[in-house]
Structure 1
Amino acid sequence: MAYEYWLACIRHVPARKKIMLRSEYTDASQIYYIEETRLYFTEYLSTKEAEAVIASRRIWDVEKNYRELCDKSISLVPYFHKGYPGRLKETADPPYALYVKGRLPDPARPAAAIVGARRCSAYGTGQTERFASRLAQAGVEIISGMALGIDGTGQRAALDAGGSTYAVLGCGADLCYPREHIGLYMDIQKHGGILSEHPPQTQPLRAYFPKRNRIISALADIVLVMEAREKSGSLITADAALEQGKDIYVLPGPVTSPLSRGCNNLIRQGAGILSSPDELLADMGIPVSSFGLKSDKNEKMLESPENMVYSCLGLCPKSMGQLAEETGLAPGELLERLVTLELKGYIKEISKNYYVRSNR
């Protein structure tokens, strides 16, 4: 594996050419010791690429560098390893190797990618929590990019529901990006995995993020786009999914919302519509049970005035003024009921005096 690590880290040689080169030998060590003239006469390698392989042998300490990789608790899974994801191997542009902290997705379990806007709305956040939680409870593994907004929300909801989730980073697997998600980064390693096609210490450059989206879609059976502007990285994931023959499901949103414009365009192009998690599970062929259905139970557990306030709320924010008009409650009593509901975890105040239901 030490020589596989050397081959994986060679710069200026595309992954597909590394795969072609490696397929000619029983292991990567044979490439390390190959004669220079033979590399120059390998017809699919350019002179610059052959020189890159040769130069790397002069500066690479095979055993030392591999030991440092292991010390970081990072596993290397090269293309020809039996553990390399079959879903990824079938794509047109698979990485030569994956760097993994934690574990890889289970090929025997269904998987869904959840992607969306970094600056998302309360509606998008709430629906992401709802779908990710329900899918995770049903045994679906959640794949995403651990970005701020929809990605991180979906992955946290999956973990809170007792499920597994996997984050594909646009940097080295040993780096937490964004830094605000350090807690999520640590938790994912315990209940899933941190994955990257980049060697350790690779910095999060802008160009790496659109490219990693093909891995997110490849590792999933379906892709859920929760919120996306007209030009969005989430749409790159959707395009990759289409090229890979994956089904795309989209959360519809208000026609006036810029955050839903990309989603609504995907619906016009024929994407599936996300209306309820149970309908999605049925589409995936997963039996739907009664777990997690809490809305009716919530309402029965609440006292009458609290139930009245709760029933007026949804995933779109409402102000105290709107709630007072709809419930007929005096401002003081309404505030008391809102505080009680928030303390019980049934609702959230997302900005001053604006409330939404929480997905308990």
Structure 2
Amino acid sequence: MEEKIVSYTPDDFEYPDKLRNFKDRPKRLYVKGKLPDPNRKSVAIIGARMCSYYGRTQAYEFAKEFASCGVQVISGLARGIDGWAHKGAIDGGGETFAVLGCGVDICYPSQNINLYREIQKKGGIISEYEEGEKPLGWHFPLRNRIISGLADIVLVIEAKKKSGSLITVEYALEQGKPVYALPGRVGEALSEGCNNLIFQGAQIAKNVEIILEELEILDKMTKEKNKKTEIRLARKEEMVYSCVDLKPKHLDEIIKLTDLELLEVQEILVKLELMELVTEPIKNYYARAGG
């Protein structure tokens, strides 16, 4: 069952703050599904419709990695890079949002109907055009300002020298958004747009981590990982401590009860001794302090 259509104006609380202050902001946004979460980071992934195998693979993998890290993926549901970016985000277990150049009740292109339906469950379909509005050519350059506007970073995967994706880049620069480009083989038509962007100063999208760092997510992920490690260590200490009581217990018995390695148990016991929680009254026998 498809989502119902709702609409928002700049006067509504739900209207995205990322768009609210632009002079050319949409007067109304129509949505099937939901709008991007303003408290989470978003990356717009754009590129050629007639993309190469390399391009679609990179679009899919970048989007999948972003989604697995909680980053929302914005694109335009077009053939090629857009579609693969949406699919990667969905397969990565994340949320993705498609900005259309027609009414949200129309799937364009029609070949992406399965993605269109899936995106409504995993994010939202967004447009400034009312229901029934056809996908006219002049709609698409305008919708690109919404794609870049909703994103924190714009990533160009593959583009020719004269590509519609470069219109999105222009909007992104006007909006003060960082632009990343995936480098391609010199001499390839589909790489010319990205290589030119890099030459002009765009950041090189050499891997996902460099963009996560720009979004200030990589440090947070590292801290979370360290925190989990600390919690795991604390649980092991608790495990060893719970095996020790007031009556001295031999090291071998503690190892057997905890099912931990010898060196690990010894290290934990030393730490517990330093914390004055455990004592070693006899060689290799341990008891709780005060026993």
Shorter-normalised TM range = 0.7 to 0.9
Match of residue 192 from structure 1: 123
Corresponding residue for residue 119 of structure 1: 50
Shift of 1:287: 2.4
Deviations 1:45-70 (A, max 9, x none): xxxxxxxxxxxxxxxxxxxxxxxxxx
Please name the residue that 2:203 is paired with: 272
Partner of 1:29: none
1:222 corresponds to which residue?
153
- Asked whether the equivalents of residues 33 and 123 of structure 2 are also in contact (C-alpha less than 8 Å), the reply is yes
Distance apart, 1:91 and its partner CA: 1.7
Counterpart amino acid of residue 271 in structure 1: A
1:162 equivalenced with 2:93 (yes/no): yes
Give the superposition deviation at 1:290. 8.9
Separation in 1, partners of 2:22, 2:182: 26
Q: Deviations over 1:300-340 (max 9, x none)?
A: xxxxxxxxxxxxxxxxxxxxxxxxxxxxxxxxxxxxxxxxx
Q: What is aligned with 1:138?
A: 69
Q: Alignment length, in residue pairs?
A: 221
Consecutive unaligned residues in structure 2, runs of 5 or more: 223-291
The 2-side partners of 1:72 and 1:189 are apart by 7
> For residues 156 and 72 of structure 1, what CA distance do their matches in structure 2 show?
19
Code of the residue aligned with 1:195 in structure 2: it is I
Work out the CA distance in 2 between the residues paired with 1:289 and 1:128.
24
SS at match of 1:117: coil
CA distance in 2 between partners of 1:290 and 1:267 (Å):
28
CA distance in 2, matches of 1:192, 1:72: 11
Q: CA deviation at 1:279?
A: 2.0
Contact 2:9 2:27 in 1 (8 A): yes
3-state SS, counterpart of residue 76 of structure 1: strand
- Quick one: structure 1 residues 72 and 134, their matched pair in 2 at CA, closer, same or farther if it must change by over 3 Å? closer
- SS of 1:275's partner is coil
2:30 alignment partner in structure 1: 99
The letter for the 2-side match of 1:113 is A
Relative distance call for 1:289 and 1:256 in structure 2 (3 A) is: farther
Report the TM-score when normalising by structure 1: 0.60
SS in 2 for 1:88: helix
Deviations 1:240-262 (CA, angstroms, capped at 9, x unpaired): 00000000000000111100101
Matched AA of 1:244: Q
Which residue identity lines up with residue 149 of structure 1 in the other structure? G
- Work out the CA distance in 2 between the residues paired with 1:113 and 1:128: 11
Contact between 2:74 and 2:96, CA under 8 Å: does it hold in 1?
Answer: yes
Contact 2:63 2:73 in 1 (8 A): yes
Matched, 1:258 2:189: yes
1:72–1:174 contact (8 Å) kept in structure 2: no
Q: Which residue of 2 aligns with 1:88?
A: 19
Show structure 1 runs of 4+ deviating over 4 A.
288-291
Max Rg structure: 2
Pick aligned residue for 2:215 from 272, 277, 284: 284
Could you tell me which residue of structure 2 aligns to residue 353 of structure 1? none
Q: Closer, same or farther in 2 for the Cα pair 1:126/1:78, shift >3 Å?
A: same
Please name the residue that 1:171 is paired with: 102
The AA in structure 2 aligned to 1:258 is A
Q: CA RMSD in A?
A: 1.6
Following TM superposition, by how much is the alpha carbon of 1:127 offset from its aligned partner in structure 2, in angstroms?
A: 1.0
**Distance in 1 separating the partners of 2:72 and 2:219:** 16
Code of the residue aligned with 1:117 in structure 2: it is A
Contact 1:95 1:197 in 2 (8 A): yes
Deviation at 1:272, TM superposition (A): 0.3
Calculate the TM-score normalised by the size of structure 2. Answer: 0.74
- Confirm whether residue 209 of structure 1 aligns to residue 140 of structure 2: yes
For 2:29 and 2:97, the matched residues in 1 are separated by 13
Paired residue type of 1:286: I
8 Å CA contact 1:79, 1:96 repeated in 2 = yes
Cα separation, 2, equivalents of 1:288 and 1:82: 31
The 1-side partners of 2:33 and 2:108 are apart by: 16
Quote the residue 1:183 is aligned against. 114
Kept after mapping to 2: 8 A contact 1:278/1:288: no
C-alpha deviation, 1:154, in angstroms: 0.4
User: 1:92 Cα shift?
Assistant: 2.5
State the match for 2:164 in structure 1: 233
